[in-house]
Amino acid sequence: MEERPTWTDDGVRVPVDTSRANPNGMEFDNLYLDMNGIIHPASHPEDGPPPETEDDMYLAIFDYLERVFAAVRPRRLLFMAIDGVAPRAKMNQQRARRFRSAQEAQEKEEEETRLREEWAKEGREVPPRKENLFDSNVITPGTPFMDRLALFLRTFVHCKLSTDPGWAGIEVILSDGSVPGEGEHKIMEYIRSQRRQPGYDPDTRHALHGLDADLIMLSLATHEPHFCILREYVGPASGKGKGGSLSDQIEAEMQQRAAAEAEGREALVEGNFASGRQGKEAGNPTPFQFLQIATLREYLQIEFANTIDYACVGGFDLERVIDDFIFLCFFVGNDFLPHLPSLDIRLGAIDTLVDLYKACFPKMGGWVCDGGRVHLGRAKIFCTELSLIEDELLQKHRSAEERDKDKRRRRDSDVKNKEACRKHREMMQRVSDFAQVPRASAHLQALHGGPGSAKGGESGGHDAATYQRSAELALGRDASLLELFNQIQEFAQLPDDAPPCKLPSHLNSYQRAMAMQMCDELTVANKRQGADANLEIWLVKQGNGANESAAARFKRELDAMVKKRNTFDEAEEDTVQLGVPGWKERYYARKFAGLGDGAHTDIAKAYAEGLCWVMRYYYEGCCSWGWFFPYHYAPFATDIAEAIDPDEPFEPELGTPFLPFEQLMAVLPPRSASALPNALAEIMRDPSSELADCYPVDFQIDLNGKKFAWQAVVLLPFIEEERLLATIQEYAGEFSAEEQRRNSHGKPMLFVRDGHPLFAPLVKCYGPPPSAVQLTADIPRAFLSGCVTCLEDAPPPHKLLEPPAFHGLEVGRALKDFVNLAVRATFALPPAEATPSRPTLLANVKMPEPRLTRADAPVIKQGSFVTARRMGGDAQRMIGHHLPARQGSSSSSYGGHGHDYRRAEGDAAPVDEARVHALLAQRLAARVGRQFTDADRLRDELRAMGVEIDDRVKTWRVARAATMPVLPRPPHHAPPYPPPQSAQYPVAPAPHPAYAQYYSSGPMLHPPGAPGHAAYAAYQQYPAHQQPLLPPPPSHPAPYPSSAGGPAPQGRHDNRYHPYGIPPSRDARGDQGAPGGVGSAASLLRQQIALNGGARPPPPAGAPTDLNRSAAELLRQQLKRK
């Protein structure tokens, strides 16, 4: 749940009051922001126009920062970390990304030039070219953009601490781009240092914002159980904030309007139809979600606790398992190492590594890792075991890729065929509609307003009197046409972001056809819903772009051209052919050409060092600023196992981090040289400079079996550090004072407001004389340890503070002068340990309550024997292996009810408790599956029974009398469908007398007029929200009661068959009009058999023994009788 700012009737923005309790029912102490995950989307969003100026980008960053703060509402600390100079191991990836970004920008310019020429030849309006486009590569430490951003952020923090009650009691630490280190690792360094200090609260509740997957591993590595990751929802329905298909949007608005009219109020439209200032302000942002690290720890415990013999290490230890699990995940790749050729995370690589770890743990004889240190002997054993299955993995991957290629070809063919069919249907419908309309419609010509609006032809010679008479004739025949035309014309003049508009629903066929012709004349797109008399026509500003401006249409076509250029339907020729005999020799010959026959040993040794470096980096911080993996591809597990020498541990040199300009020279392409001082920029641009070979304009990319260009390996030469630093040193004397300041390392800053316990110590360090002040946990409500020193340019408290000059377009939203109530000082962490200790749970920590329930069990289609690896659901497989097998809807975790809600104490009102439990179980499953519409519907059903739910304490009670009589549920032995009549199959037991009227003794599929139809007609008379209360609903959680005594049925429940015996609709049938698929028929009969006690009847004489074919044969017999 997320609160958003609101607007008053006078247009005044009312911010969220973050001093109030968190609406999600959970409070947090510390909030950590990996700021680069905010800066990038705010400065160049993927789903909207970017801010016009850099200063406007800063405002967008502030908006997003406030949104995250309001979602978490920390009570102790806000830590904002911007990426500083990175270790050399990360610079390789940064260099590849920035060079590729510049290459894509160049390709886009080429496509834009080509498209402009095409439009000009066609005589179309060509929008003006945008100048001074923002270069996202400047989001790198040391650039003027990042320097000015730090200045604005410091002022923003002062302003919020001085004016916002929700910020008043917290400490703020800002580690900007001048402080060396990646943002997320600066955050982890702070957490590790505070955990070592006396007086640290082991129950501190942390929240970390960011979408990078490595944040999950880093959070696990802290061994802090009260840890959450706040991230934007990622899923098929997120669409980067978009609201789904157009038909879904229209349907949503129709439902909202209907609900509003039923309540007698004006319709309030939300989602993509939002209007007004608040809707534009919100911009339909993607919702947030919390990833609970405590829940992930539970999954890992379930996965590992009872599947390995831990006798050799004295028993199971979840903290040691987590350390080893993080190490295993390094083999599938990260920001510092490429993934092994035999391991692809999309093809179940993590499952493979986990299963292999379990199998060889006794052989390894203990844990692979001790905190951040790798036991090389055990790592060697693990890599050896991995090498034994490497050939099999490669063969499976090759088979899977071939299947995927075939599937893509069939899918593309189906898409083309469906598109052709759709266009054909639309054409035939238009022909049918326009057959009733005169082609030279005087009505439309008159409504256009005269000859000036005609589109050529003979109509252009009519005089004004002719048009006037035509208009009178048109109005005489149908006065509503003028109103209809005006409505369409007004919609055509609206801006492109206008919501869809529905035409009147009472139009006859002639008026609808005229409306379609008017839409064509006015170039207004439309969407039709329903058929015949119920046809609805919506005017839309979305879809095929008919209402777009020239600039919007140009952008859409350009984006499509760029996407096509960067998408490869068929990957380049595979010359390595992994999985085919000889793959190893071909791999090294193609991927490491020119390195010699023995190069694989050096490559493997460097990769083994990388595994140790990354593990140390995650647990202790950067152990070497200069180390990096000097290859573009990874070796095979066989070679890594041979290269690991337990007697030669990895002992890197710490070194020093690069200066900001040194990193800029190492990672920026020549296209972004303007972010550097002029002297260094010329080195990049000059093709004859001493470093010209380091800055190629054209370079190769290797798809390496992938489909999209962004997945390719960028084949750039690695920077030669000594040459680079020596060249930069030659020009250092030409730097201005401002450039010298930008080229230096900074320190984090601590901010607090007047009234905070740390305010007095920070004021003291101001002097005179300025002095360092030690902060310890002994200070009441301080909650952090470290050392603060004075900042020369820190603004004094209780004085008017003037923000930096604002040069953007949104001047009204810029920071204004305010009375500063906050102080700031440089902040240094306590000294690190000489010998880092292994992280583990702290003493006296209160572990979170277990969260996993039966609703979190894996969801696997009944009758579909799909392995977990093909599902891609690691967590589902984890819990599915170890929780009790599912039987009906019972669950030991829920006390047999399928949910964890209990009845409120003292509530003894009469109610059908079995029905309540069934609906609660369905509602819980819907909420877990994010089917919130279904969950709301089920809650309405409970309310119709008089039942109210309190989700905070997981209770329910009967608050009032039911709004309709609740019919008794059918007994367990009642079949969900009418029993088939067959001499070969025994007839199911007769239904309960209360339900006899709903069944007939006819064949399985009732003909029209059968008793089932009468019952269904009576069923439809009830309101839609009450229909599921009638027996027997097809969605009962236990269609196969465990009390049946027989084995669980293998077929899946086919919801296309109605409980009252109504045949499936036409669109649910096969090509011949019969129910589609043998599997459906078999499923029906298996359900009948299971409900009869599980006894399997003998097949007909001479029939095959396979149950599926027998079921299909029976269905054919039933249909043949009809």
Tell how strand 822-828 and strand 749-753 pair up. Answer: antiparallel
* Least confidently predicted of 222-236, 441-455, 585-599, 967-981: 967-981
- Choose the weakest-confidence range: 699-713, 724-738, 1037-1051, 1090-1104: 1037-1051
State the Cα–Cα distance between residues 18 and 7, nearest whole angstrom: 17
Report pLDDT digits (tens) over 20-73.
999 988 999 999 999 999 999 999 887 778 898 999 999 999 999 999 999 999
Quick one: pLDDT band at residue 793, thresholds 50, 70, 90?
confident
Average the pLDDT over each of 541-550, 691-700, 708-717 and give the range with the smallest value.
541-550
For residue 115, pLDDT over 90 is answered with: yes
Judge whether 499 and 275 are in contact, CB under 8 Å: yes
- pLDDT for the residue 503: 85
Whether residue 469 has pLDDT greater than 60? no
* pLDDT average, residue stretch 300-322: 93
| Over residues 651-678, mean pLDDT | 96
Q: Can you tell me the mean pLDDT for 716-735? A: 95
Cα(337)–Cα(650) distance, rounded to whole angstroms? 16
Cα–Cα nearest to 829, from 733, 750, 895, 883:
750
Q: How many CA atoms, within 13 angstroms, populate the side-chain half-sphere of residue 671?
A: 21
- Which residues make beta-bridge pairs with 701? 714
Segment among 132-146, 541-555, 834-848 with least mean pLDDT: 541-555
Q: What is the pLDDT of residue 534?
A: 58
pLDDT at 988 over 90: no
Q: Are 652 and 623 spatial neighbours (Cβ–Cβ below 8 Å)?
A: yes
pLDDT for residue 161 is more than 70: yes
Mean of pLDDT over the chain? 77
DSSP string, 251-273: HHHHHHHHHHHHTTS-----GGG
- Rounded mean pLDDT, 364-387: 96
Cα(919)–Cα(911) distance, integer angstroms:
13
CA atoms in the 13 A half-sphere facing the CB of 745: 12
Coil, strand, or helix at residue 739? Answer: helix
Long-range own/partner contacts, residues 504-511 (CB < 8 A, 24 or more apart): 504/480, 505/536, 507/480, 507/537, 509/433, 509/436, 510/436, 510/437, 510/478, 511/478, 511/480, 511/481, 511/484
Q: How many of the other CB atoms lie within 10 Å of CB of 109?
A: 12
Residue 799 has pLDDT above 80, yes or no: yes
1032: cis peptide before it, omega within 30°?
A: yes
C-beta separation of 628 from 93 below 8 A: no
For the beta carbon of residue 731, count every other beta carbon within 10 angstroms.
15
- Span 243-262, mean pLDDT? 47
- What pLDDT sits at residue 1114? 53
Q: Say what the pLDDT of residue 821 is.
A: 97
Residue 1103: the pLDDT is 47
1033 band by pLDDT with thresholds 50, 70 and 90:
very low
DSSP category for residue 285? P
Which stretch, 473-482, 777-786, 1068-1077, has highest mean pLDDT? 777-786
Give me the amino acid identity at 272.
N
Radius of gyration (C-alpha) of the chain in whole angstroms: 34
Beta strands in 532-669 (DSSP E): 536-540
- State the virtual CA torsion across 525, 527, 531, 532 in degrees, nearest 10: -30
pLDDT greater than 90 at residue 785: yes
Average pLDDT on 86-96 reads 96
Q: Is the pLDDT at 545 greater than 70, yes or no?
A: no
State the Cα–Cα distance between residues 740 and 734, nearest whole angstrom: 9
Distance CA 486, CA 495 (A): 16
What whole-number percentage of the chain has pLDDT above 90? 44
Rounded Cα–Cα distance for residues 64 and 285 (Å)? 10
pLDDT of residue 782: 86
CA distance 25 to 22: 6
pLDDT tier, 100 (very low <50, low <70, confident <90, very high otherwise): very high
Check residue 433 and give its pLDDT: 54
Identify the pLDDT of residue 543.
Answer: 45
Cβ pair 978, 1004 in contact under 8 A = yes
Give the angle 1105-1107-1112 at the CA atoms, nearest 5°: 110
> Which tens digit of pLDDT belongs to each residue from 730-747?
999 999 999 999 999 999
Q: What are phi and psi of 173, to 5 degrees?
A: -115, 125
* Confidence band for 569, pLDDT divided at 50, 70 and 90: low
| pLDDT(902) > 50 | yes
Predicted confidence (pLDDT) per residue in 482-536, tens digit: 788 888 888 877 776 677 888 887 777 777 788 887 887 776 777 776 555 556 7
**Pick from 188-202, 449-463, 724-738, 1099-1113: least confident:** 449-463
pLDDT at residue 975 tops 80: no
pTM: 0.68
Using CA atoms of 820, 821, 826, 832 in order, give the dihedral in degrees to the nearest 10.
Answer: -150
What is the mean predicted confidence (pLDDT) over 690-714? 89
Q: Over 60: is that where the pLDDT of 1011 sits?
A: no
Ordered strands of the 902-903 beta sheet: 902-903, 955-958, 947-950
Using the predicted structure, report yes or no on whether residue 1100 has a pLDDT greater than 60.
no
CA distance 637 to 333: 13
Rounded to 5 degrees, φ, ψ at 108 are -65, -40
pLDDT value for 447? 52
Q: In whole angstroms, what is the distance from residue 398 CA to residue 408 CA?
A: 15
Judge whether residue 668 has pLDDT over 70: yes
Q: Look at residue 494 in the predicted model and tell me its pLDDT.
A: 77
How far is residue 471's CA from residue 451's CA, in Å, rounded to a whole number?
A: 12
The reported pLDDT for the residue numbered 363 is 95
